Amino acid sequence: MRFPLLATACLSGLLLAGAAAPQEGEPAAADSGILSIQLLERGDRPARPAAGQLVLTAPGDETRLEIRQVRPSDPARTRVVLYFDSAVSSTAALRAAADRYSQRIAELVALGEVEIVLADPQPTAIAPASRDPELIGNALQRIFLRTEAEDVLRQRREIFLRGETLDARAAGDGDGGGGATRGIERLPASQRNELAREAMADELFVLASRHDAMLRWLAEREQSAASGRWTSSYLFLVQESLALDPLSFYSRHADPAELAALATEAPSAVLLAEAIAAHGWVLFPLAGASGDDDPALRYAPSEDVPVGFRLRLGRDRDAAEDAGAGGDDSVLLQPAVSSWQAVAAVTGGEAIPGDQLADALARAAQRSELVFAPLDPLLGELSLSLTDAGERRTLRAPRRAPVGHHPLVAAARLREMAEGGDLAAADYRLEAEFVLDPTARTLRTGLLRALLRPDDQAGDDEAEDDETGAGETVTGTADETADEIADVGDPWRLSLRFRDLDGVGTLRQWTIEPEGESEDEDEDAQADGEADSGSGSESGSEVSAARIRAAGADPGAWALEAPIELPVGTTGVTALVENLRTGAWGAGEAEIVNRVPEGGDVGGAGEEITQARPLRLLPPPAGSLSGRVTFEVETTPEVERVVYYLGNKRVARRGRPPFDVTLNLGSSPRTLQLVAAAFDRDGAELGRDRLLLNEPPETFWVRIVSPEPGADVAGATEVEARLRTPRDASLDSLTFYWKERRIESLREPPFTATVDLPVGEPDGFLRVEARLSDGRTAEDVLLVNQGGFGEQIGVELVELYVVATDRSSKPVLGLDEDVFEVYEDGRRQEIESFEAAGNLPLTIGLAIDSSSSLFLRMPEVQQAATRFVRSLSTRRDRAFLIGFGTEPRIVARTTRDLRRIEDAVRGLEPYGTTAVWGAIDMALQQLDGIDGRKALVVFYDGDDEDEERYFERSLRLARRANVPIYLVLMNDMAARTAGRSLSSRSFVGKLERITRAGGGRVFYVRKDQELDPIFDAISEELRSHYLLTYYPEIRPGGPLWRPVEVRIQQRGVEARTIEGRGVEGY
């Protein structure tokens, strides 16, 4: 360390500063831009180019820009920032850089005013812009003596090389030994891949956060190079990992294919350099800044790694040193100079080897400024060339126009908002909403509407002193500055961050370009206070009709409208709008709302789509109901007609309010279901409600009553549930879910929760689960966003769960809707919706024969059944168990705790005869009232000891239940003959009929045959369901039982679903 030399360096700096009388360069005209360039002759000798030697073009449209002047850089109008990033650099690297800079204070001050910034982790000026060598030297000494770098990437790699996880390391479970650098190699390949994915994801997150911190810092320092104080800006960077490619490192220890997806998300150092250039800065990364005592990582990357830079990390080593290294895996995040050069070149700068700082500063002092025109705010890529370029001449120039903005900055600001950052630096307050189009089938399209108002505090803060190096700040009230931060005809950029339930964001950006208008149109528009600024487009995007205009009712405010299609799964939208001429910006959340767009300001015009239920049946007085009973309903204004059904029979119709009805329930109390359906003036069904009358005291259920089934909803949606608990039972919790994600748990009414529903998910479903204190559970499932609800007249939507199988009875997946045809009573029906339903929640009834005849095979049956239960999803599916010998009994009630079902299966004991039809009846009754996907699996040894009348009752129940029944029949004769033998034909025919009713099937098993493959086949089939819905054709006077058939227009593939359905009166 050579800080004793600091006094001499400071003195020479003072003398130089005093002697220098820098000539103040003239700022460029308002329509011009300035580029900091350098021409190098043979031997890297700086030369001064003439304007006539240079050609400047915008490659996108081959436009040749006017070069008005080439002049020497002016130290009086040059700012120099020494930027130390301690989060991803080692302490040794920071100290080495501070030491080297301390020896070159005089040369740094000769360049311009010097500011020192320490990013720890957020960038903070520890020395304001100054030409005082003592002040600069003290700040560098502080970094050398007091700064301890976080060096998080090096630490993360060391943890990875030890074969540890971050959690284990934090808990102190690792060996902590510095020599255990080969721990990762001792692990299996699968574990190495998993640890590599985790470590690389952590590293990418850190790198992205460092990029974002610098981008936000750049934006805060932003000032126009054409009219501001500074005409040249130099950024000397100490950050070991800027150009690092994590994939190259982790691919040494894991399969690159396992990491490829992560690599596509890696923050780009080149794009960061483009943003640096767009803000008018020239980048000088200090490479090789680490101390000589640091170990180096010997690394020659594989040619198989296709993504990112190929780097050699660490200091140069000779062959002898490499030969004796012994495979040292110590981690030093120090990219080679050549890699930094690729990044710095984008800005017109250069990477500086640590021992060549003096030469680099001497070259920087002889840079030139090129003044060009016009400086269009939409100007992007630039190309500067020499008219007489020779082999020995090098031209360094920025590849991006210094327009003062870059899309990466908007992205960084949006990510900061997502992490809870404030908007103190914003020029506008933004109010926004995304209005969904309720007529769209997938509910993904709509209109983004935003209102930008100048921040009331924008002019209250004092201007920052020039000595801080932050530049000049415009002061004044919001009204006074409004015209300066935006004007009619300015281009704007719209940036949207769409996030899903996991908080993962997707960024999309559009430029809203100014729109040419006639003078008369401008005068008329301004008179009305609605001056159009422009319309925007993104290539291939639906936002081509985006428009921004001055909001006349609010001085200085701007209103934006843009039609957008949201990505599938979006639950929230954050919007950022920025003026590309001035850099003024505002950001905020855009609430997703269901409203018919009719123009007007945000939150104003437009008809809100209410979530109120169109119809609600009010519960009758408590107690047993019989005879004539009056039922009252509450309806919304659009209801014009209400139809009542008792059981499956239509019993009343009311055509004007109040829609109350008096019904005769019979002479004695009996359990009945009352359904009321509401219709609008055009006969379209608006919704339904139902009541279960004379429920037994032990009845336990929960139902989602809002939103309506199939409703198109998205964004913040109120979900309401209705609950019935058994007498003398207490509620433990009622929990709302979106798919598998828990939203909220309640213990007492009202049972309502607000759920952020993702847009455009055709397989989305809401689920509610009620749990009693004794462990019993009930649940309901509601499919949403299926499309088409309410479009049919007085007809109930029919749901069909369908299995497609090939000639070997194996399920066929991946079929499209267009190969399915649905027929009811021989007439083809129009399919309303279609989806693969194998992942929807499933309620399984399991009925197992526990009669004495199964004594010997009971252990095998129990083993196969428990294995089947384990194939269910513990987070999604439910099951119950019925055992049947002489009589059926509920062994385990419906629960999501599948281990309880497994224990109950293992506890079955054989006894008595075989009451199979009674067991099926009991199971179907348990499944009755449970919405969503359900199935019944019956294991049975084939003894038919029930009477014929019991079978007929079971068949009627199976036809009404529409539940697929999978019946595993263990019978040697039936298995050998597939049920065709004379002795078993009659009985097997009953089984075939009852399984055919719900779209199930019979499996014939010999007594010496293994059961696991049978239960595996059932499990596979249950995961292969398709869900088709249709509104049946209205046929007054038609049959009460209507056969249903699904045909698949693909050779060798057949469909299996319910046999038919009963209509009103069946």
Q: What is the per-residue pLDDT for 532?
A: 36
Residue 355 — φ and ψ, nearest 5°? -90, 10
Q: Based on the domain organization, do 850 and 984 belong to the same domain? A: yes
SS3 523: helix
CA–CA gap between residue 965 and residue 962 (Å, rounded): 9
SS3 901: helix
Confidence bin at 83 (pLDDT 50/70/90): very high
Q: Contacts from 392-396 at CB under 8 Å and sequence distance 24+?
A: 392/41, 392/42, 393/39, 393/40, 393/41, 393/42, 393/47, 394/39, 394/40, 394/44, 395/37, 395/38, 395/39, 395/40, 395/49, 396/37, 396/38, 396/39, 396/40, 396/345, 396/348, 396/349, 396/350
Is residue 194 a contact partner of residue 252, using CB atoms and an 8 Å limit?
Answer: no
SS3 884: strand
For residue 920, pLDDT over 50 is answered with yes
Share of the chain above pLDDT 90, in %: 26
Average pLDDT value for residue range 866-870 = 91
Q: What is the per-residue pLDDT for 943?
A: 62
Q: Which amino acid is at 515?
A: E
Confidence bin at 405 (pLDDT 50/70/90): confident
The torsion angle over the Cα atoms of residues 1020, 1023, 1024 and 1026, rounded to 10 degrees, is 160
Q: Which amino acid is at 1013?
A: P
For residue 445, pLDDT over 80 is answered with yes
For residue 595, pLDDT over 80 is answered with no
Confidence bin at 319 (pLDDT 50/70/90): very low
User: Tokens 């220098």 identify what position?
Assistant: 20
Q: List the Cα angle 928/929/935 in 5-degree steps.
A: 50
Q: What is the per-residue pLDDT for 960?
A: 83
β-bridge mates for residue 653, sequence order: 643
Which domain does 183 fall in, by range?
Answer: 79-366
Domain assignment present for 1007: yes
pTM: 0.66
Domain assignment present for 16: no
Instruction: Give the CATH number of the domain where residue 871 resides.
Output: 3.40.50.410
Q: Based on the domain organization, do 966 and 888 belong to the same domain? A: yes
Q: Which of 449, 480, 476, 473 is nearest to 555 (CA)?
A: 480
Q: Based on the domain organization, do 807 and 781 belong to the same domain? A: no
Domain assignment present for 6: no
Average pLDDT of the chain to the nearest whole number: 78
CA–CA gap between residue 447 and residue 182 (Å, rounded): 56
Instruction: Give the CATH number of the domain where residue 774 resides.
Output: 2.60.40.10
Average pLDDT value for residue range 741-751 = 92
Helix (H) or strand (E) holding 65: strand 63-72
Q: Which residue has the higher pLDDT, 468 or 428?
A: 428
- Examine the fold and report which residue of 769, 794, 819 is the final residue of a domain before the chain moves on: 794
SS3 504: coil
Q: What is the per-residue pLDDT for 27?
A: 59
Confidence bin at 330 (pLDDT 50/70/90): very low
For residue 136, pLDDT over 90 is answered with yes
Q: Please write the tens of the pLDDT for every residue from 13-51.
A: 433 333 333 344 555 566 788 999 999 988 889 998 888
Dihedral sign from CA coordinates of 165, 169, 170, 173: positive
Q: Based on the domain organization, do 667 and 585 belong to the same domain? A: no
Max mean pLDDT range (16-20, 464-468, 860-864, 1039-1043): 860-864
Helix (H) or strand (E) holding 413: helix 407-418
Domain assignment present for 609: no
Average pLDDT value for residue range 279-303 = 56
Strands 878-884 and 685-693: unpaired
Q: Based on the domain organization, do 233 and 310 belong to the same domain? A: yes
Domain assignment present for 909: yes
Q: Which residues contact 983 (CB under 8 A, 6 or more apart)?
A: 973
Q: What is the per-residue pLDDT for 515?
A: 53
- Within 13 Å, how many C-alpha atoms sit on residue 652's CB side? 17
Q: What is the per-residue pLDDT for 101?
A: 94
Residue ranges of alpha helices (H) inside 264-356 are: 269-278, 319-323, 337-344
Assigned token pair, 804: 């497609």
Average pLDDT value for residue range 448-465 = 62
Domain assignment present for 608: no
Average pLDDT value for residue range 743-751 = 93
Domain assignment present for 246: yes
Domain assignment present for 824: yes
SS3 439: coil
Q: Please write the tens of the pLDDT for every residue from 350-392.
A: 999 878 999 999 999 999 999 999 888 888 888 988 887 566 7
Q: Based on the domain organization, do 790 and 856 belong to the same domain? A: no
Q: Which of 409, 394, 453, 401 is nearest to 427 (CA)?
A: 453
Q: What is the per-residue pLDDT for 303?
A: 36
Q: What single string gives the DSSP state of each residue in 473-494?
A: ---S-HHHHHHHH--TT--EEE
Average pLDDT value for residue range 537-553 = 61
Q: Please write the tens of the pLDDT for every residue from 766-823.
A: 889 898 888 778 888 887 765 544 333 344 678 899 999 999 889 999 999 999 999 9
Q: What is the per-residue pLDDT for 751?
A: 94
Q: Please write the tens of the pLDDT for every residue from 224-259.
A: 333 467 889 999 999 875 445 788 888 888 998 888
Q: What single string gives the DSSP state of each residue in 338-377?
A: HHHHHHHGGGT---EEGGGHHHHHHHHTT-EEEEEE---T
Assigned token pair, 217: 């810092």
Confidence bin at 953 (pLDDT 50/70/90): confident
Q: Based on the domain organization, do 619 and 521 belong to the same domain? A: no
Is residue 215 a contact partner of residue 412, using CB atoms and an 8 Å limit?
Answer: yes
Q: Based on the domain organization, do 585 and 705 belong to the same domain? A: no
Confidence bin at 220 (pLDDT 50/70/90): confident
Q: Which residue has the higher pLDDT, 142 or 873?
A: 142
Q: Based on the domain organization, do 642 and 766 belong to the same domain? A: yes
Q: Based on the domain organization, do 824 and 878 belong to the same domain? A: no
Assigned token pair, 973: 């004769």
CA–CA gap between residue 1038 and residue 1059 (Å, rounded): 17
Q: Based on the domain organization, do 342 and 464 belong to the same domain? A: no
Share of the chain above pLDDT 70, in %: 76
Number of domains in the chain: 5
For residue 292, pLDDT over 50 is answered with no
Strands 54-58 and 546-550: unpaired
Is residue 570 a contact partner of residue 456, using CB atoms and an 8 Å limit?
Answer: no
Assigned token pair, 349: 């700068």
Confidence bin at 671 (pLDDT 50/70/90): confident
Strand ranges for 816-903 from DSSP E: 820-824, 827-829, 831-836, 842-849, 878-884, 888-895
- Examine the fold and report which residue of 339, 366, 393 is the final residue of a domain before the chain moves on: 366
Q: Based on the domain organization, do 350 and 320 belong to the same domain? A: yes
Is residue 285 a contact partner of residue 343, using CB atoms and an 8 Å limit?
Answer: yes
- Examine the fold and report which residue of 570, 601, 632 is the final residue of a domain before the chain moves on: 601
Q: What is the per-residue pLDDT for 715?
A: 81
SS3 1022: helix
